Amino acid sequence: MRRRFYMGANLERAVAISDLRARMHRRLPNFVTEYIEGGAEEELTLRENREIFSRILFRPNTLINAAGVDASTKLFGRPLRLPVVIAPTGSNGLYWHEGDQCLARAAAAFGIPFTQSTVSNARLEDVAALPGVRHWMQLYVFRARAFMEELVARADAAGSEALVVTVDAAAFGNREWDRRNYGRDMDPTLANKLDVLRRPHWMANVLARGLPTFANVADKIPPAERTYKRTASWTREQMDLAFDWSDIALLRRIWPRRLIIKGLVTADDAARAADAGADGVVLSNHGGRQLDGMVSGVATLPEVRRRVGDDFTILVDGGFRRGTDIVKALALGADAVMVGRATLYGLAAAGEAGVMRALAILEQEVLRTMALLGRLTVADLGLDCLAARSDPLDGLAVLPAERGVRSLARPSHGLAEQLAEQREGIGSI
């Protein structure tokens, strides 16, 4: 019998993120689906973000009483039901009406933070004011520095818990498959316009209400030009190649709460971020949408952890679709992961209820994976429960640790060697 993903409306029958993704493909027009799914150029980075997980394997302990397995943890001193943060994504109103609010409400109900993008379709003040939301604000540093400072002041006044500064978008990525959907002035091609007619549910939910605008930057555009296309073009024009560490220093001076730098992957940059006063980093290649052929943040995670130590917060994103992916990242040294596409698939499939289903699926998978590994808490996860299929992390400086303990003391060599040493009882601490 031919295998098929479930694409129906009964969310309880969506047993994996891939089912929500399949429903999204059924519901959204092609040019909107491509915006979510696509990457830069040959999409090498996009594929690597998923493939690296297949090269990292588990080494479980058995006969462990796992009745009390618990995936909760703390991040910046506050409790998390699941070590997940919803990542910043733009144009969420294209997938579902008031998409940003749907994501934020689901995050609040689930007890995790929601990160709102500078180029979201809702005012940051409106989202931050939603009941129970842990609001993080993502910031692009545009050429108009006064506007940047204005956004920071607005996030401060709104009580945002953290400011997440994206540093890997000084130039806009070359997303060729996305560009092929448009003619002049970001106008969808005729084929894409005809495809919209095949999506009546999307038309009723989104198009009939008018295309969303980028509410946080709209007042920088003349009133007569505040269309979706013109505002999107303005944000691309504002990308600033002159953005550097001096801008991080400025943000640290004017932002009073948690400062997180997103979009770096090297240990040197992470250490410099810590020295600059950042409270944490997100190891990220922008979901494969910026520099093609780039390393995954997961691959550099052990090296970064060794360099910055245990007291500095590390998040990672890129390709997370399964609870097993999340557990692998935690075992490699992450404090939590950011998920973007996984929750967008839920949003595009069924709005807020779809986001809740996506988070529930991930939680169930994390708990199941931890139980099968014989690790009852997040603190129990360490390198000793992993093995490398073909040493994708070769040469990274990290020592095999006791369960839940990260080590900074030994010289570097490949992960496969380190795990092999541990199995043979060599180099124990």
39 is in an annotated binding site: no
289 is in an annotated binding site: yes
Output the DSSP codes for 358-396.
HHHHHHHHHHHHHHHHT--SGGG--GGGEEESS-TTTT-
What are the structure tokens assigned to 90, written together?
């733009």
Task: Name the nearest CA neighbour of 393 among 419, 427, 373.
Answer: 419
Task: Name the nearest CA neighbour of 246 among 148, 312, 115.
Answer: 148
Out of 25, 97, 201, 286, the active site residue is 286
Output the DSSP codes for 210-247.
-----TTTGGGS-GGG-SHHHHHHHHHHTB-TT--HHH
Is 286 among the residues known to form the active site? yes
What are the structure tokens assigned to 371, written together?
């139980």
Task: Name the nearest CA neighbour of 286 among 40, 17, 85.
Answer: 40
Contacts of 380 (CB under 8 A, 6+ apart): 370, 403, 404
320 is in an annotated binding site: yes
d(CA 199, CA 193): 11
340 is in an annotated binding site: yes
Q: Residue 167, SS3?
A: coil
Contacts of 202 (CB under 8 A, 6+ apart): 27, 28, 29, 32, 196
H or E, element range at 22:
helix 17-27
117 is in an annotated binding site: yes
Determine how β-strand 73-75 pairs with β-strand 135-140: unpaired
25 is in an annotated binding site: no
175 is in an annotated binding site: yes
90 is in an annotated binding site: yes
45 is in an annotated binding site: no
317 is in an annotated binding site: yes
Q: Pinpoint the alpha helices (H) of 38-172.
A: 44-54, 99-110, 124-128, 145-157
Task: Name the nearest CA neighbour of 154 among 254, 273, 235, 261.
Answer: 254
Q: Token match 């607005």: residue? A: 154
95 is in an annotated binding site: no
d(CA 106, CA 239): 31
235 is in an annotated binding site: no
89 is in an annotated binding site: yes
What residue ranges in 265-405 does DSSP mark as E strands? Answer: 280-283, 313-316, 336-339, 386-388
6 is in an annotated binding site: no
228 is in an annotated binding site: no
d(CA 393, CA 144): 40
d(CA 82, CA 73): 7
91 is in an annotated binding site: no
What are the structure tokens assigned to 261, written together?
């730098």
227 is in an annotated binding site: no
154 is in an annotated binding site: no
Q: Which residues are annotated as a binding site for glyoxylate?
A: 35, 140, 175, 286, 289
Positions marked active-site: 286
Q: Which residues are annotated as a binding site for FMN?
A: 88-90, 117, 138, 166, 262, 284, 317-321, 340-341
Q: Which residues are annotated as a binding site?
A: 35, 88-90, 117, 138, 140, 166, 175, 262, 284, 286, 289, 317-321, 340-341
